[in-house]
């Protein structure tokens, strides 16, 4: 028998311990993830009512942007800290912050506080999705990981399809406060199960974990300054009703600061050991083009998800519930497009034609919306929304599979995470631009055409320009991507 000492095992979050009540634990873990996903879609149909009660029309998109931005920025922090403190502690902390934010959102006295509490909610959500996936991979054997991907797809699809409708139902039949309060009963049960069932994590404390705090802080400030500058552009000057000029210091100041901060961020990323965005990966053409496609593809997705419900409520005076139902063609198109792309790419191992085709569908849908008016038939807008959804869906699943099959195996986790990171940041920027343009168009046209036609024209213009330009750049990026067959691990041969 050999007496040679075996090398120490590589630290892992969990060594797949036998956990009693594994099914209940996984329901709780995926349930926490679902709450975080749901809160990114449930707000859209309630926003017109919220703004009507709390005011702050120029801050309309910030209730979504604050959540997206804070949840995106904190993902790498939670990932790194979980290597020190364990998945259980960080997941429970994240869920606690998410529930506290939900409670405070429901009590918000004005839009400023609501935005702040949505950011707090996002700080918690930043832990729920990535750590839930990581924990599930710790608990589930490799041969069953395909089921986990299927569950993730179902959760995303359900949140996209069900979120707008649920938000409308709660807003119309109870109050908008309940789109946040609904998280509490389910969240408390999930928290109790996690405290009861999650095994403790043992860590190798000698492992040094480096977090790019400077990069994270500067990047967050840079994006926030950009969004603030765009928001100030849509605010009136001194209560006169006249929109501020681009040269106004309240607009140009934050925009200029964002440029300086982004330059500083790039400098920081070249100096730190473990950067938030590893710049060296951009030497990989696939990584660069896929992240560009993810960033700009989010322009059409987030503009549609936030402004289409507002169009139906402002222009057609329908209820929040009805507006949630009317956006179903987009949501169903997203789910169908995502599922089809996953199957086709996994079977053929080819992605370029399919993803470029989806970008064309998204571009076509956005261009068609340039013809939107108050008198456009419902079935016509349904077709246009279906095209949007079929164009967006493959971006969500297809780009993920494509990037995993083109980067080196040791970079798969990092590359997949950054794909989502750039999509969320792109969505935040798109909403700030769209919010500014919407207010400008409505204020200019409403006195002449009336609010219904002004809202229709503004919505069509947003999708045509913001979504359309994003879709066009997405298409160019995908055409520039490398072709050939993907090296999918475990894909059908």
Tens-place pLDDT, residues 297-313: 999 998 998 899 989 99
Once rounded to an integer, what is the mean pLDDT over residues 204-215? 73
Q: What is the pLDDT of residue 5?
A: 37
Residue 241 has pLDDT above 70, yes or no: no
* pLDDT, tens digit (0-9, with 9 covering 90-100), for 362-371: 999 999 999 9
Q: What is the pLDDT confidence band of residue 207, given thresholds at 50, 70 and 90?
A: low
- Which token pair is 22? 């594994």
* pLDDT, tens digit (0-9, with 9 covering 90-100), for 474-491: 999 999 988 767 765 544
Q: What's the 3-state SS for the chain?
A: CCCCCCCCCCCCCCCCCCCCCHHHHHHHHHHHHHHHHHCCCCCCCCHHHHHHHHCCHHHCCHHHHHHHHHHHHHHHHHHHHHHHHCHHHHHHHHHHHHHHHHHHHHCCCCHHHHHHHHHHHHHHHHHHHHHHHHHHHHHCCHHHHHHHHHHHHHHHHHHHHHHHHHHHHHHHHCCCCHHHHCHHHHHHHHHHHHHHHCCCCCCCCCCCCCCCHHHHHHHHHHHHHHHHHHHHHCCECCCCCCECCCCCHHHHHHHHHHHHHHHHHHHHHCCCCCCCCCHHHHHCHHHHHHHHHHHHHHHHHHHHHHHHHHHHHHHCCCCHHHHHHHCHHHHHHHHHHHHHHHHHHHHHCCCHHHHHHHHHHHHHHHHHHHHCCCCCCHHHHHHHHHHHHHHHHHHHHHHHHHHHCCCCHHHHHHHHHHHHHHHHHHHHHHHHHHHHHHHHHHHHHHHHHCHHHHHHHHHHHHHHHHHHHHHHHHHHHHHHCCCCCCCCCCCCC
Nearest partner of 475 among 395, 406, 417, judged by Cα: 395
* pLDDT, tens digit (0-9, with 9 covering 90-100), for 435-488: 888 888 888 888 888 888 999 999 999 999 999 999 999 999 999 988 767 765
Q: What is the pLDDT confidence band of residue 1, given thresholds at 50, 70 and 90?
A: very low
Q: What is the pLDDT of residue 465?
A: 95
Query: CB–CB of 355/399 below 8 Å?
Result: yes
Give the domain ranges of the chain.
19-199, 212-273, 278-493
Among the four given CATH numbers 3.30.559.10, 3.30.365.10, 1.10.10.10, 1.20.1250.20, the one describing domain 278-493: 1.20.1250.20
Q: How many CB atoms lie within 10 A of CB 199?
A: 17
Q: What is the pLDDT confidence band of residue 98, given thresholds at 50, 70 and 90?
A: very high
Q: What is the pLDDT of residue 6?
A: 38
Greater pLDDT, 487 or 16: 487
Task: Please state, for a pLDDT cut of 90, what percent of the chain lies above it.
Answer: 35
Least-confidence region, from 130-134, 143-147, 151-155, 229-233: 143-147
Least-confidence region, from 321-330, 376-385, 434-443: 434-443
Once rounded to an integer, what is the mean pLDDT over residues 248-271? 91
Residue 14 has pLDDT above 70, yes or no: no
Q: What is the pLDDT confidence band of residue 379, given thresholds at 50, 70 and 90?
A: very high
Query: CB–CB of 330/386 below 8 Å?
Result: yes
- Which token pair is 5? 């000492």
Q: One fold for both 19-199 and 278-493?
A: yes
Residue 86 has pLDDT above 90, yes or no: no
Residue 482 backbone class (left: φ over 0; alpha: ψ -120 to 50; beta: rest)? beta
Mean pLDDT over the full length of the chain: 83
Report whether CATH 1.20.1250.20 matches the domain 19-199. Answer: yes
């Amino acid at each position: 028998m050999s007496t040679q000492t075996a090398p120490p095992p590589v630290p892992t979050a969990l060594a797949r311990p036998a956990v009693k009540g594994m099914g209940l634990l996984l329901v709780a873990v995926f349930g926490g993830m679902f709450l975080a996903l749901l809160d990114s879609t449930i707000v859209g149909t309630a926003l017109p009512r919220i703004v009507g009660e709390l005011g702050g029309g120029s801050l309309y998109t910030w209730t979504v942007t604050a959540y997206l931005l804070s949840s995106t920025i904190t993902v790498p922090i939670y990932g790194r800290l979980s290597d020190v403190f364990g998945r259980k502690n960080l997941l429970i902390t994240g869920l606690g912050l998410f529930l506290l934010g939900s409670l405070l959102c429901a009590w918000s006295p004005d839009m400023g506080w609501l935005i702040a509490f949505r950011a707090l909610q996002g700080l918690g959500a930043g832990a729920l999705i990535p750590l839930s996936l990581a924990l599930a991979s710790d608990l589930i054997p490799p041969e069953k990981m395909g089921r986990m991907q299927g569950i993730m797809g179902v959760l995303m699809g359900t949140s996209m399809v069900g979120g707008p409708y649920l938000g409308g139902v709660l807003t119309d039949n109870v109050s908008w406060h309940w789109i946040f309060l609904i998280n509490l009963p389910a969240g408390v049960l999930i928290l109790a199960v996690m405290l009861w069932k999650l095994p403790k994590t043992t860590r190798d404390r000698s492992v040094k974990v480096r977090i790019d705090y400077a990069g994270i802080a500067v990047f967050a400030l840079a994006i926030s300054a950009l969004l603030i500058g765009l928001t100030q552009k849509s605010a009136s000057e001194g209560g006169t009703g006249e929109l501020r000029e681009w040269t106004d210091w309240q607009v140009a100041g934050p925009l200029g600061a964002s440029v300086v901060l982004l330059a500083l961020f790039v400098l920081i990323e070249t100096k730190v050991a473990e950067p938030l965005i590893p710049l060296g990966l951009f030497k990989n053409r696939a990584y660069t083009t896929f992240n560009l496609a993810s960033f700009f593809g989010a322009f059409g997705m987030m503009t549609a998800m936030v402004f289409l419900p507002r169009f139906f409520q402002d222009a057609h005076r329908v209820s929040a519930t009805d507006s949630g139902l009317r956006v179903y063609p987009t949501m169903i198109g997203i789910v169908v497009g995502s599922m089809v792309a996953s199957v086709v790419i996994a079977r053929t191992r080819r992605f370029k034609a399919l993803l470029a085709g989806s970008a064309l569908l998204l571009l076509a849908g956005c261009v068609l919306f340039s013809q939107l008016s108050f008198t456009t038939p419902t079935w016509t807008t349904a077709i246009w929304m279906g095209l949007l959804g079929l164009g967006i869906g493959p971006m969500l699943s297809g780009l993920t599979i494509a990037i995993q099959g083109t980067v080196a195996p040791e970079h798969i986790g990092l590359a997949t995470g950054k794909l989502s990171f750039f999509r969320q940041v792109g969505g935040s920027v798109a909403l700030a631009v769209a919010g500014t343009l919407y207010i400008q168009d409505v204020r200019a046209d409403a006195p002449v055409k009336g609010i219904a036609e002004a809202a229709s024209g503004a919505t069509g213009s947003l999708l045509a320009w913001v979504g359309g330009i994003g879709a066009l750049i997405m298409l160019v990026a995908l055409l520039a991507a490398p072709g050939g067959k993907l090296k999918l691990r475990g894909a059908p041969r």
